[in-house]
């Protein structure tokens, strides 16, 4: 192995970034470029795969140039990517047959309902750990096969290939048609137990096996890159949330991270066996390092966290910027008994009530905008507690600390309240870019740049820690009220809505 | 170009003079500096006093910058906003220096800690966000005082400064000299002046209007920050580099 650096691509929903890390996991360089969002119809969201590939090449180039690092000094390239977004391309020409259909796109709503009714939601969940939902790739593939003339025939002949963004990038970098277990676990097509494509699911979704990539570990050399990183092994691929789990070095069962952004994603490492959730969490892959046994995870996603702060700013106009909510919230001592359930489009994990809508409860003449600001922030913490409680009843491991990242971790009031209601310490690492760091770690491990997981754990540095400091009675009373508020949010929609 | 309004230009000149020094000025001194009749200067000062841009000291009858102006200059940027914008730079400063990082703003003559990154060694440390620190005994405070002379003047006006250790600068004249030095070189330091055995280095953060909105700095043991009684120059460079980076983030012109 040669080279003093590892490069990582973070291909996200809004932009592509490239980071260069040194051996101590310090960011040496970074470059970023946004790509266009296409909205051909309401609810449809597409990306141009060629634009993404072009941007990825230019951010890699820019990141290397900025610190005058040559490809020879880079010992591996890792990839973390927006999950579930689906690309179909021509094997011979490499040209996409259509724009990528992104994870947010809901055009497969009808296909999903058919699969749920026909094949059965429970059978899908048993095999994949997932509910049938428009997020996942399988139904998107099916839509493209059904709607783009000639594509089904060519896919059956192996002339048109499918991939999530990791596959698309690896294909362009080194002409290998592979994906990693974490990305494959978000397709509704991979069997969680065999870690291979499930023939029964392929049949149910009517997707030909010939178009699917080979499923590989998250950390292994898939091939050598061409382009600005010519000769550098492409050595990792992970869905972004899974990469963050690795970047936060949550390698032991019972360790968990939560990313607090627009929405929030909690991933809880459950070890070598998949744990079926009785509480509506997703069972997914944490990561798989080389030939080692895979690590499974439970995932709870919360649709509206930072988005509620944005709503408070844009729709109520009570603050000028997201961070100002903390200033406003600190103008009062507590939420004054006010609770805000942001079920704007229903309640997700662990409630799964699509008939719910948002409510603000406990209003009295005493409530000011400061109390509302508190209730907005506290909603994120209570929702996290709901997810963690579901995890606790699905899995025997107990959480000792929650590792956090994402934009909302800048909010001290929120992080302290989170520690208070979860009753565990909340810690923030010094490298906030946990997604790209995770991709770099997995790639570096594959080529021996880092010897083992312990050396990575050693790199993890605590930048801040919030310790629980709330009277248990107060915590339980608050939680009881929150549950009452949730109960008031459900059963709102009627048949004729 | 439309005609310039002479009285506004003169008012601006008066404000500039009052902000440029760590002391109050009388009508006669201002008139002398500006080469204007005392009556003219007095009229302008009276108007500025009404809008709160200057205030008159009861005892000496001299003038200083007023609270309205201070508010516009120093606290327009929300501390939580500053933290959010500075987050990544504060993290990399902690990584580079191996020391804890704090960002502070002036709050009624004291330094309010708006951000704190632990020393990256995974030892148990307590978050100090929200704490108030004495301005004259911290590097953050000195970096801020050097840019807010009216606050420094107010501190000085209180007579003796509190001593936290034998090293604390309690002499107003010495502090003023040090602030001039800080102002000249662009960074501040404190060695054992707040807590024995500890030192800190800080530099001011500016926004797009070149107003000082806060300061960022590191704190650590004197053994690590100093060599033979002198601060490590590369640590100083990390701090000034981080201050520049945050300033750029806030729209300040790179310098
Ligand atoms: N100081 C803050 N307090 C509360 N919420 C914040 C704060 N700063 C940012 N946010 C919220 O965090 C979200 C942005 O986080 P980020 O991790 O950048 O998002 P994403 O990657 O999901 O786009 C926004 O929804 C914003 O409202």
Q: Which domains does chain B carry?
A: 6-65 (1.10.10.10), 76-249 (3.30.450.40)
Q: Mean pLDDT, to the nearest integer, of A96-109?
A: 92
A362 — alpha (psi -120 to 50), left (phi > 0) or beta?
Answer: left
Residues in chain B: 255
Rg from Cα positions in chain A = 22
How confident is the model over A338-352, as a mean pLDDT? 89
Nearest to residue A432, comparing CAs of B237, B127, B101, B90? Answer: B90
Residues in B touching A463 (Cβ below 8 Å): 91, 94, 117-118, 120
Option in B83, B124, B130 nearest A323 (CB): B83
Question: Which member of A27, A411, A466 has the closest CB to residue B127?
Answer: A466
Q: In chain A, what residues touch B122 (CB-CB under 8 Å)? A: 460-462
A412, A434, A459: best to mutate for the B interface, most B CBs within 10 A: A412
Residue B81, CA distances (Å) to A322, A327, A387, A415 in order: 8, 9, 29, 16
Q: Of B246, B250, B218, B235, whose CA–CA distance to B88 is shortest?
A: B246
Q: DSSP string spanning A159-221?
A: -EEEEEHHHHHHHHHHS--EEEHHHHTTSS-EETTTTEE-HHHHHHHT--GGGPPEEE-SEEE
With a pLDDT cut of 70, the percent of chain B lying above it is: 90
Nearest to A403, CA basis, from A253, A250, A254, A278: A250
**Cα A284 to Cα A202: distance, rounded to the nearest angstrom:** 19
Mind listing the pLDDT tens digit for each residue in B28-67? 989 998 899 999 999 999 988 877 788 888 778 889 887 6
Q: A249-258, B2-11, B65-74, B199-208: lowest mean pLDDT where?
A: B65-74
Q: Please write the tens of the pLDDT for every residue from A403-424.
A: 999 999 999 999 999 999 999 9
Q: Do B91 and A26 touch (CB under 8 A)?
A: no
In this structure, which residue's CA is closest to atom 1 in ligand 1? A323
What is the distance between the alpha carbons of residues B242 and B88, in angstroms, rounded to a whole number?
10
Which chain A residues contact residue B92 at CB under 8 A?
26-27
Per CB distance under 8 Å, which residues of B are interface residues toward A? 78-81, 83-84, 87-88, 91-92, 94-95, 116-118, 120-122, 124-125, 127, 129-130
pLDDT (average), residues A184-198: 96
How far is the centre of ligand 1, averaged over its atoms, from the C-alpha of B77 (Å)? 18
- Residue B210: what pLDDT? 74
Most confident of A35-44, B67-76, B163-172, B192-201: B192-201
Task: Identify the three-state secondary structure at position A364.
Answer: coil
Phi, psi at A325, each rounded to 5°: -65, -30
CB contacts of A27 in chain B (<8 Å) are 92
pLDDT at B68: 64
CA of A268 to the centre of ligand 1 (A): 22
Question: Confidence class of residue B1 from pLDDT cuts 50, 70 and 90?
Answer: low
Centre of ligand 1 from the C-alpha of residue A325, in Å: 11
The Å distance, Cα A261 to ligand 1 centre, comes to: 5
B87 contacts in chain A (CB < 8 Å): 410, 432
Lowest mean pLDDT among A88-97, A243-252, A366-375, A390-399: A390-399
Using DSSP, state whether A147 is helix, strand or coil: helix
The nearest alpha carbon in chain A to B130 belongs to: A412
Q: Which of A144-158, A189-203, A290-304, B38-52 has the lowest mean pLDDT?
A: B38-52
Picking from B87, B122, B129, the nearest residue to A462 by CB comes out as B122
State the Rg of chain B over Cα. Answer: 19
- Look at the pTM and tell me if it is higher than 0.90: no
Task: Please give the Cα distance from A349 to A343 (Å, whole number).
Answer: 11
Q: Chain A: nearest CA to B114, how far in angstroms?
A: 10
DSSP-assigned states of every residue in chain B: -PPP-HHHHHHHHHHHHHHHSSS-B-HHHHHHHHT--HHHHHHHHHHHHHTTSEEE-TTT--EEE-HHHHHHHHSSS-HHHHHHHHHHHHHHHHHHHSSEEEEEEEETTEEEEEEEE--SS-------TT-EEEGGGSHHHHHHHHH-HHHHHHHHHT-SPPPSSTTS---HHHHHHHHHHHHHHT-EEEESSSSTTEEEEEEEEE-TT--EEEEEEEEEEHHHHEETTEE-HHHHHHHHHHHHHHHHHTTPPP-
pLDDT by residue (tens digit) across A197-212? 999 999 999 999 999 9
pLDDT value at B4 more than 80: yes
Give the closest of B81, B91, B120 to A323, CB-based: B81
Phi, psi of B99 (to 5 degrees): -120, 165
Q: Which of B81, B124, B127 sits opposite A464 (nearest CB)?
A: B127
Over chain B, what is the mean pLDDT?
Answer: 87
- CB–CB of B42/B72 below 8 Å? no
Classify burial at A54, counting beta carbons within 10 Å of its beta carbon; exposed 0-12, middle 13-18, buried 19 or more. Answer: middle
pLDDT band at B21 (very low <50, low <70, confident <90, very high): low
pLDDT value at residue A27: 87
Separation in Å, CA of B118 to nearest CA in chain A: 5
Bond from prior residue into A279 cis (ω within 30 degrees of 0) = no
| Smallest CA–CA distance from A431 into chain B, residue | B91
Q: Which of A326, A460, A464 sits opposite B118 (nearest CB)?
A: A464
Task: Retrieve residue B214's tokens.
Answer: 């806060």
Could you tell me which residues come within 8 angstroms of residue B94 by beta carbon, excluding any fewer than 6 positions away?
A430, A463, B100, B101, B117, B118, B119, B120, B218
CB contact under 8 A, A26 and B95: yes
Average pLDDT over all residues of chain A: 93
In whole angstroms, give the CA distance from residue A182 to residue A289. Answer: 11
- Extract the tokens encoding B159: 């007579």
Q: Is the pLDDT of residue B71 over 60?
A: no
Degrees (nearest 5) of the Cα angle A28, A34, A35? 140
Q: Which atom of ligand 1 is nearest to the CA of A14?
A: 23
pLDDT score recorded for residue B74: 46
Highest mean pLDDT pick, A105-114, B17-26, B68-77: A105-114
Ligand 1, atom nearest to A305 Cα? 25
Residue A488 has pLDDT above 50, yes or no: yes
Better pLDDT: A381 or B145: A381
Do the Cβ atoms of A412 and B94 come within 8 Å? no
pLDDT of residue A287: 97
Name the minimum distance, in Å, from the CA of B89 to any CA of chain A: 11
Question: Assign residue A271 a region: left if phi > 0, alpha if psi is -120 to 50, beta otherwise?
Answer: left
Q: Whose CA is nearest to atom 25 of ligand 1?
A: A306
Residue B172 has pLDDT above 90, yes or no: no
Query: Does residue B214 carry a pLDDT above 60?
Result: yes
Contact A85, A103 (CB under 8 A): yes
Ligand 1 atom closest to residue A259's alpha carbon, by position in its atom list: 17
Residue located nearest, by CA, to atom 6 of ligand 1: A408
Contact B84 A410 (CB under 8 A): yes
Q: What is the pLDDT of residue A284?
A: 95
Mean per-residue pLDDT, B115-121: 95
Residues B211, B204: Cα–Cα separation, whole Å: 10
Q: Which chain A positions have a beta carbon within 8 Å of B125's beta carbon?
A: 465
Whole-angstrom distance, CA of residue A444 vs CA of residue A442: 6
- Partners of B200 in the beta sheet? B190, B219
Tell me which residue has its CA closest to atom 2 in ligand 1: A323
The distance from CA A331 to its chain's CA centroid, rounded to whole angstroms, is 34
pLDDT of B2 reads: 66
Closest CA to A315 of A307, A327, A323: A307
Strand order in the sheet with B198-206: B132-134, B110-117, B100-107, B212-221, B198-206, B188-191
Distance from CA of A458 to the nearest CA of B (A): 10
Q: What is the pLDDT of residue A2?
A: 64
Phi, psi at A488, each rounded to 5°: -80, -15
A461 touches chain B (CB under 8 A): yes
What distance in Å separates the CA atoms of residue B135 and residue A273, rounded to the nearest whole number? 56
**Quick check: A463 and B94 CB within 8 A?**
yes
Average pLDDT over residues B158-174: 86
pLDDT digit string, tens, across residues A426-478: 999 998 889 999 999 999 999 999 999 999 998 889 999 999 999 999 999 99
Summary count for chain A: helices (H), strands (E): 16, 23
Q: Which two tokens stand for residue A59?
A: 């951010």
User: Taking 90 as the threshold, does the pLDDT of residue B229 lie above it?
Assistant: no
In this prediction, residue B23 carries a pLDDT of 63
Say how many Å lie between the CA of residue A433 and the centre of ligand 1: 14
Output the six-digit token pair for B191. Answer: 């060695």
pLDDT reading at B75 higher than 90: no
The residues lining ligand 1, judged by C-beta closer than 6 Å to any ligand atom, are A 261-262, 306-307, 309-310, 322-323, 325-326, 406-408, 410-411; B 80, 84
Taking residue A396's Cβ as centre, other Cβ atoms within 10 Å add up to: 10
Whether residue A374 is predicted with pLDDT greater than 50 in this model: the reply is yes
Contact B78 A324 (CB under 8 A): yes
Q: Closest Cα partner for A21 from A445, A485, A380, A319?
A: A445
Beta bridge partners of B188: B202
Pocket test residue of A12, A14, A103, A309 for ligand 1, highest count of atoms within 8 A of CB: A309
Residue A407: closest C-alpha in chain B: B84
Q: Which residues contact A310 (CB under 8 A, 6 or more apart)?
A: A262, A322
CA distance A153 to chain B (A): 50
CA A227 to CA A258: how far, in whole Å?
35
């Amino acid at each position: 192995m040669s080279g003093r650096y590892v490069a990582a691509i973070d291909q996200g929903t809004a932009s592509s970034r490239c980071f260069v890390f040194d051996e101590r996991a310090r960011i040496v360089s970074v470059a970023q470029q946004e790509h266009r969002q296409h909205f051909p119809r309401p609810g449809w969201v597409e990306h141009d795969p060629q634009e993404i590939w072009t941007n990825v090449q230019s951010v890699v180039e820019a990141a290397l140039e900025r610190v005058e690092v040559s490809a020879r000094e880079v010992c591996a390239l890792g990839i973390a990517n927006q999950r579930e977004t689906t690309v179909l391309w021509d094997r011979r020409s490499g040209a996409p047959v259509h724009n990528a259909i992104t994870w947010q796109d809901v055009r497969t709503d009808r296909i999903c309902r058919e699969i749920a009714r026909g094949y059965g939601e429970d059978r899908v969940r048993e095999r994949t750990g997932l509910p049938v939902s428009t997020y996942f790739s399988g139904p998107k593939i099916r839509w493209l096969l059904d709607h783009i003339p000639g594509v089904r025939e060519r896919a059956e002949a192996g002339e048109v290939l499918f991939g999530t963004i990791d596959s698309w990038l690896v294909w362009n970098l080194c002409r290998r048609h592979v994906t990693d277990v974490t990305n494959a676990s978000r397709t509704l097509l991979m069997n969680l137990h065999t870690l291979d494509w499930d023939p029964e699911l392929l049949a149910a979704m009517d997707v030909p096996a010939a178009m699917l990539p080979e499923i590989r570990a998250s950390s292994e050399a898939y091939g050598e890159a061409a382009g600005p990183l010519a000769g550098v092994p492409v050595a990792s691929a992970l869905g972004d949330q899974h990469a963050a789990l690795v970047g936060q070095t949550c390698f032991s069962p019972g360790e968990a991270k939560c990313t607090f952004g627009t929405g929030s994603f909690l991933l809880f490492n459950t070890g070598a066996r998949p744990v079926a959730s009785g509480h509506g969490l997703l069972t997914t892959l944490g990561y798989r390092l080389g030939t080692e046994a895979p690590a499974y995870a439970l995932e709870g996603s919360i649709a509206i966290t930072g988005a509620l702060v944005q709503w408070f700013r844009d729709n109520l106009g009570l603050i000028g910027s997201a961070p100002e909510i903390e200033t406003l919230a600190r103008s009062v001592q507590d939420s004054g008994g006010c609770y805000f359930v942001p079920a704007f489009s229903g309640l997700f994990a662990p409630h799964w009530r699509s008939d719910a809508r948002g409510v603000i409860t406990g209003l009295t003449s005493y409530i000011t905008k400061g109390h509302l600001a508190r209730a907005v922030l506290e909603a994120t913490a209570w929702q996290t507690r709901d997810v963690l409680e579901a995890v606790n009843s699905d899995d025997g491991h107990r959480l000792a600390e929650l590792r956090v990242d994402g934009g909302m971790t800048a909010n001290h009031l929120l992080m302290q309240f989170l520690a208070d209601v979860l009753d565990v310490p909340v810690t923030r690492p010094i490298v906030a870019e946990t997604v790209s760091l995770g991709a770099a770690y997995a790639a570096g491990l594959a080529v021996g740049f880092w010897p083992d997981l312990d050396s990575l754990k050693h790199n993890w540095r605590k930048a801040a820690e919030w310790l629980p400091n709330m009277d248990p009675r107060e915590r339980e009373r608050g939680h009881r009220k929150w549950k009452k508020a949730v109960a008031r949010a459900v059963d709102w929609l009627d048949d004729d809505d | 170009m439309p005609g310039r309004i002479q009285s506004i230009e003169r008012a601006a000149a008066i404000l500039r003079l009052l902000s440029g020094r760590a002391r109050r000025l009388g009508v006669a001194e201002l008139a002398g500096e500006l080469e204007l009749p005392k009556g003219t200067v007095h009229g302008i000062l009276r108007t500025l006093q009404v809008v709160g841009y200057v205030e008159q000291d009861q005892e000496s009858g001299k003038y200083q910058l007023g609270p309205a102006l201070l508010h516009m200059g120093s606290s327009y940027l929300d501390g939580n906003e500053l933290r959010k914008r500075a987050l990544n730079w504060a993290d990399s400063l902690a990584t580079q220096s191996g020391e804890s990082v704090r960002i502070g703003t002036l709050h009624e003559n004291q330094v309010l800690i708006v951000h704190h990154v632990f020393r990256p060694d995974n030892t148990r440390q307590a978050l100090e966000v929200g704490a108030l620190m004495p301005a004259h005994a911290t590097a953050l405070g000195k970096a801020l005082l050097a840019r807010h002379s009216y606050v420094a003047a107010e501190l000085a006006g209180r007579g003796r400064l509190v001593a936290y250790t034998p090293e604390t600068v309690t002499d107003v004249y010495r502090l003023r000299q040090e602030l001039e030095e800080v102002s000249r070189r662009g960074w501040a330091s404190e060695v054992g002046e707040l807590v024995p055995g500890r030192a800190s280095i800080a530099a001011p953060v500016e926004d797009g209007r070149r107003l000082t909105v806060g300061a960022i700095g590191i704190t650590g043991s004197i053994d690590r920050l100093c060599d033979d009684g002198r601060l490590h120059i590369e640590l100083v460079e990390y701090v000034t580099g981080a201050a520049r980076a945050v300033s750029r983030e806030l729209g300040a012109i790179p310098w």
